[in-house]
Amino acid sequence: MLSRTADHLYWMARYIERAENLARLLDVSYQMSLVPQSLAAQSRNWGALLALNSLEGSFAQRHAEISADNLLRFMVTDAENPSSIYSCLRAARENAHAVRGTLTLEMWESVNTTWIELRGKSFETIVSTGISEFFDWVKRRSALIRGVTFGTMLKDDALHFIRLGGLIERADNTARILDRQYHILHDHNEAGVSDFYQWGALLRSLSAFQVYRKVYRDAITPARVAELLILNPDMPRSLHACTDGIVCMLQLIANDVSADTQRRAGVLHAGLHFGRIEELMTNGLHEYLEEFMDRVYEIGEGVGRSFLMAA
């Protein structure tokens, strides 16, 4: 298929996945801000969110203080912030529009309708109907698009590039969310009831709360949370599951110049496949996750070089 077409499909999928993960993260942060806690903890909670996407600078230019209202406005509907949900869904729609002939009609309609509906929502109307309702809407739209993609598209390269984009984005996002939240919780352990909520919220943001209960049938501990979200191959948002998919997709689209990218993905996957959580945590979880994100970034770059900018 045309490299440009593959590029648009790949990025369409990345932006949709990114919007969804952002909605998850914001939702959980918002829920957590409702739990009684110190002001310092509040501000840390929201500040961590900005740090997650290295947005402290551009946020500071637009808002004086870190408050729930300012932050949500910045991350949800701000068209100037390239990392807002609004910007992600706009970029997804623009990418889809450029290759609408490659998408099935249902896919194009679901992406386009998402954008049309989003355009009709102001921050004020979102807040007045309940911001959690809005986050649910983002997740539902993402799920709908994913379902329509799997339900209507031919299993050819177009689908493989869409899936690859989604998986690479998800691998990065899960690692990012885990890293920041883990970092905060670990460094500032305000023991007691809020601790339970904090860990619970982290799991919920990745739709992993019920899964955790099912897998461990035990109290929530940091090591187990890390194990579930990193190593469990059956947990759809875990790093292991994402790299499983990445390796598989790369095999399906392999070409003459993609061997190195496949090798890198294989190495990353092997570490997760055969690794144990105690080993990963020896040098510190933060260090591990940071390296993981670097490697995912390299794989993304490799995909660009091998497939999206041919000759």
Residue from 72, 177, 253, 280 touching another protein (CB under 8 A): that is: 253
The DSSP line for 174-189 is: HHHHHHHHHHHHHHT-
Footprint of another protein on residues 157-196 (CB under 8 A)? 157, 161
CA distance 134 to 276: 38
156 is an interface residue for another protein by CB under 8 A? no
Task: Write the interaction track for another protein spanning residues 40-79; mark x where CB under 8 A is met and - where it is not.
Answer: ----------------------------------------
Instruction: Decide whether 101 or 192 has the Cβ nearer to another protein.
Output: 101
Residue among 4 and 155 whose Cβ is closer to another protein: 4
Q: Which stretch binds another protein (CB under 8 A): 66-74, 94-102, 127-135, 291-299?
A: 94-102
Nearest residue to 41 via CA among 181, 179, 173? 181
Within its chain, how far is the Cα of 204 from the centroid? 14
Q: How many CB atoms lie within 10 A of CB 201?
A: 21
Cα–Cα nearest to 142, from 164, 174, 113: 113
Least distance from another protein to the Cβ atom of residue 308, Å:
8
The verdict on 11 binding another protein (CB under 8 A) reads no
Among residues 133, 187, 256, 278, which is the contact residue for another protein, using CB under 8 A? 256
Is residue 309 near another protein by the rule CB under 8 A? yes
Q: Which is nearer to another protein, 30 or 108 (CB)?
A: 108
201 near another protein, rule: CB under 8 A: no
Q: Is 100 in the site for another protein (CB under 8 A)?
A: yes
Q: What are the tokens at 77?
A: 């509907």
Quickly tell me which residue has 């979102």 as its tokens. Answer: 126
Burial (CB count within 10 angstroms: exposed 0-12, middle 13-18, buried 19+), residue 308: middle
**Does residue 111 touch another protein according to CB under 8 A?**
no
Rounded Cα gap, residues 259 and 178, in angstroms: 30
CB contact at 8 A, 85 and 138? yes
Q: Give yes or no for residue 109 binding another protein (CB under 8 A).
A: yes
Q: How far is it, in rounded angstroms, from Cα 144 to Cα 9?
A: 17
Binding segment for another protein (CB under 8 A), chosen from 3-11, 131-139, 144-152, 217-225, is: 3-11
Nearer to another protein, 9 or 211 (CB): 9
Of 157 and 169, CB closest to another protein:
157
Burial of 222 (0-12, 13-18, 19+ CB in 10 A): middle
In the block, tokens 């691998």 appear at 171
Binding stretches for another protein (CB under 8 A): 1-6, 97-98, 100-101, 105, 108-109, 112, 157, 161, 253, 255-257, 307-311
